[in-house]
């Protein structure tokens, strides 16, 4: 098996004998076999271990076991205690996801600070099969069916050529010491349920199910690469960059077949799932204004296009500005306006400072707002002004107003109110710019 290990990491260009590798070792059977391989081949490496403080005394015993092992063999050793439960609660995520976030962030920190080239984990073929089945139940599409990559930037997995059975046999034959994690038998965890319940049943149908799923995973990985290349070309053709994101022409989109499948891959990088995509496809012929959101982005259905942009935290609806120094804009006060040259760009607002009484308010515009646009005699609804000036639905969402009592001073970045303009009687001019 040691020769198979060497052949695998060399043929897959995982690392070279001159690289320094940080091994992630839990103390379980898989990671202790990986550690044994690195020792046997006299490779350059260190060991990192995490105590997630979820298993009480057993976790402390694992920590001590690995620390003593490394001390006896003069192996660089790094360890940390995580407040995993607290982190999971604070971030509203599962214990498993919290543990993953914490450990990979810490591994990368140790790698950079101590000059390691790669981080090695002890995943094997059974992990690939289990991950495929977990992702299949979650509906992740083709991307979730290639299982676990053997190399992903700085993370490598040099045991992906072995099954759990091979590792068990090697451990027994070579009397390798390890600590058994009793939580691996608890089927309340999804992976354990897949391992002990689902795969055991699948083996009755296909005794070689682990090998079969790994072969399929490699095939899916190749298929995904072909699809990604095609989607990249289509995205460059269909997605037109705009100030806040992209505009996607609906008529051009409808020419794709099958549309739902294409749109799923086009939007996958923006975290829209298959259910979101179905809703978007169904709404392509509906009235403008419908919004679809993922965890990171939103799509707004406009008349002839879909407007895609990143979700931003909405500006505070009650951003009170108590003095001129609190203004969230670049500003300048001019006392001699005789030679003042007006820049007609929308990014500037030229206001009569004496007409402004603090505190004033910066907020998002809302239906029912109206003002007297500079140069006009009468009032105009902000909504009508935006329509007349051909604001897209996406642009409308980001428009803010600077307000004094119930009067709009400035439709920010667009037009000031005529009542606050500079006149021949102005003594001090306030120039705002964004």
Question: Do 402 and 360 form a contact (C-beta atoms < 8 A)?
Answer: yes
Render pLDDT for 318-332 as a digit per residue (tens, 0 to 9): 688 988 988 989 998
For 141, the enclosing helix (H) or strand (E) is none
Least confident range from 82-91, 143-152, 270-279: namely 143-152
What distance in Å separates the CA atoms of residue 333 and residue 340, rounded to the nearest whole number?
Answer: 11
Question: Do 320 and 399 form a contact (C-beta atoms < 8 A)?
Answer: no
DSSP labels for 229-296?
A: HHHHHHHHHHEEEETTEEEEEHHHHHTSSSHHHHHHHHHGGGT--HHHHHHHHHTTTS-TT-EEE-SS
Find residue 119's DSSP bridge partners.
Answer: 22, 155
Render pLDDT for 204-236 as a digit per residue (tens, 0 to 9): 999 999 999 999 999 998 898 899 999 999 999
Give the pTM.
Answer: 0.64
What is residue 313's predicted lDDT score, i.e. its pLDDT?
58
What distance in Å separates the CA atoms of residue 248 and residue 302, rounded to the nearest whole number?
Answer: 10
At 315, the pLDDT band (50, 70, 90 cuts) reads very low
Domain segments of the chain as ranges = 2-216, 243-310, 319-433
Residue 347 has pLDDT above 70, yes or no: yes
Residue 137 has pLDDT above 80, yes or no: yes
Render pLDDT for 177-209 as a digit per residue (tens, 0 to 9): 998 877 777 777 788 899 999 999 999 999 999
List, in order, residues 6 or more apart from 191 with CB less than 8 Å away. 96, 130, 134
CATH of 319-433, one of 3.50.40.10, 3.30.70.260, 3.40.50.150, 3.90.1300.10: 3.50.40.10
At 344, the pLDDT band (50, 70, 90 cuts) reads confident
What 3-state DSSP class applies to 423?
coil
Which class does domain 2-216 fall in? alpha beta
Residue 353 has pLDDT above 60, yes or no: yes
């Amino acid at each position: 098996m040691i020769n198979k290990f060497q052949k695998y990491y060399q043929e897959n260009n995982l690392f070279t004998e001159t690289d320094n590798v940080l091994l992630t070792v839990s103390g379980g059977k898989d990671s202790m076999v990986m550690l044994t391989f690195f020792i046997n081949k006299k490779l350059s490496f260190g060991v990192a271990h995490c105590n997630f403080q979820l298993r009480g005394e057993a976790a402390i015993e694992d920590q001590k076991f690995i620390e003593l092992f490394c001390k006896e063999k003069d192996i660089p050793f790094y360890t940390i205690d995580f407040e995993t439960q607290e982190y999971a609660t604070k971030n509203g995520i599962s214990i498993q996801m919290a543990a993953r976030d914490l450990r990979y962030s810490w591994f990368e920190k140790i790698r950079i600070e101590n000059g390691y080239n790669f981080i090695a984990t002890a995943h094997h073929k059974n992990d690939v099969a289990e991950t495929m089945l977990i992702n299949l139940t979650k509906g992740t599409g083709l991307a979730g069916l290639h299982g676990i990559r053997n190399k992903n930037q700085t993370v490598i997995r040099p045991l992906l050529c072995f099954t759990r059975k091979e590792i068990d046999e090697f451990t027994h034959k070579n009397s390798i010491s390890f600590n058994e994690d009793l939580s691996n038998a608890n089927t309340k965890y999804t992976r354990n349920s897949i391992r002990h319940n689902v795969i055991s049943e699948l083996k009755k149908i296909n005794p070689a199910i682990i090998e079969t799923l790994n072969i399929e995973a490699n095939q899916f990985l190749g298929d995904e690469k072909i699809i990604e290349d095609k989607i990249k070309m289509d995205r460059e053709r269909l997605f037109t960059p705009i100030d806040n994101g992209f505009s996607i022409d609906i008529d051009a989109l409808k020419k794709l077949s099958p549309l739902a499948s294409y749109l799923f891959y086009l939007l996958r990088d923006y975290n829209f799932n298959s259910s979101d995509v179905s809703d978007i496809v169904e709404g392509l012929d509906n009235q403008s204004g419908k919004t679809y959101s993922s965890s990171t982005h939103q799509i707004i259905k406009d008349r002839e296009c879909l407007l895609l942009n990143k979700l931003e935290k909405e500006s505070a609806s009650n951003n009170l500005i108590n003095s001129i120094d609190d203004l969230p804009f670049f500003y300048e006060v001019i006392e001699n306006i005789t030679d003042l040259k007006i820049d007609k760009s929308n990014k500037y607002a030229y206001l009569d400072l004496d007409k402004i009484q603090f505190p004033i308010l910066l907020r998002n515009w809302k239906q029912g707002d109206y003002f007297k646009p500079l140069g006009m005699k009468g009032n105009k609804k902000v909504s009508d002004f935006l329509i007349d000036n051909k604001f897209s639905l996406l642009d409308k969402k980001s428009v803010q107003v600077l307000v004094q009592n119930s009067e709009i001073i400035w439709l920010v970045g667009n037009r000031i109110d005529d009542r606050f303009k500079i006149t021949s009687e102005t003594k001090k001019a306030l120039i705002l710019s964004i």
